[in-house]
Amino acid sequence: MADQSSAVVSDAELREALEVVFRANSALYKERGFQRRLGFGKRPALIVIDLAKAWTLPGHAFSCADMDTIIPANQKLLEAFRARGFPVVFTTTAYDITDGPNSDMGLWGQKIPLETLSADSEWVAIDDRIAPQPGELVIVKKKASAFHGTHLASYLTANRVDTVIVTGVTACACVRHTIEDAIADGFRPIAVREGIGDRIAGAVEWNLFDIDAKFGDVEPLERVLQYLQSNEIG
């Protein structure tokens, strides 16, 4: 029997393979009119998706990788948003009833271990390194999207927001579904490449590629920071 370790693909090899696929798919998409740019609007809000301790620290079922890149990127964005006084929104996912027949986890809890996200657990608190400040909204959601079943859309509209800068985890689920709902509700979604993560190798690269093709603009951190310093927004 062949050594199973020989079948393991490194992250670098996976990314290289995905780049080959992406180049081919980009050509196809562009020929068919995809990958258009939404651009930045006039008033942004930052939406930090699920950077709570269950996702940012090791030892939990939901723990994600690359926090040594994701946390500093979010710190820079928070500093820029706070300096300009633009809205900042954090989300976490937590449940009040994690056992018995009347759980608020719904069917999703039959698919993934949502019972580990009890509302009274320290795991669902936002990571101390990017802790919310007074005046910043924290939304406790029950589903993947930050918009589903929450007042996020009305909050953004009331604050005249037209652009949502999205970071957090995971690229394949909560980040992606938030971006899809954002554009559906009329907000310009901008995904910050260095500020988004996942727990599965390749998930970030694939989902950001697909989001950029269909649902929002994926931009590097430096480009977003330049936008936030512009005198044309406010």
pLDDT at 234 over 90: no
pLDDT of residue 5: 45
Contacts with 184 (C-beta within 8 Å, 6 or more apart), sequence order: none
pLDDT at 3 over 70: no
pLDDT tens-digit series, residues 27-41: 778 888 888 999 999
Return the amino acid letter for 108.
W
Domain spans, the chain: 41-93+124-228
pLDDT at 211 over 50: yes
3-state secondary structure of 49: strand
pLDDT of residue 167: 98
**What number of CA atoms fall less than 13 Å from residue 194's CA on the CB side?**
15
**What number of CA atoms fall less than 13 Å from residue 210's CA on the CB side?**
15
pLDDT tens-digit series, residues 82-138: 999 999 999 999 999 999 889 999 999 999 999 999 999 999 999 999 999 999 999
Q: Quick one: DSSP state of residue 33?
A: T
Which candidate in 174, 182, 191, 196 is catalytic? 174
Average pLDDT over the chain, rounded to whole? 93
Can 64 be counted among the known catalytic residues? no
Could you give the percent of the chain with pLDDT greater than 90? 82
> Please, which pLDDT band fits residue 9 given cuts at 50, 70 and 90?
low
CATH fit for domain 41-93+124-228, picks 3.40.1480.10, 3.40.50.11720, 2.10.109.10, 3.40.50.850: 3.40.50.850
> Please, which pLDDT band fits residue 6 given cuts at 50, 70 and 90?
very low
* CA 7 distance to own-chain centroid: 31
Q: Quick one: DSSP state of residue 106?
A: G
Neighbours of 139 (CB within 10 A): 18
pLDDT at 80 over 50: yes
| Segments of the chain assigned E as strands | 44-49, 88-93, 137-141, 163-169, 188-197, 217-219
pLDDT at 17 over 90: no
Neighbours of 59 (CB within 10 A): 8
Return the amino acid letter for 187.
F
Integer Cα distance of 67 and 179 in angstroms: 21
Q: How far is CA 128 from CA 86, 136, 166, 207, in A?
A: 21, 14, 19, 27
pLDDT of residue 31: 82
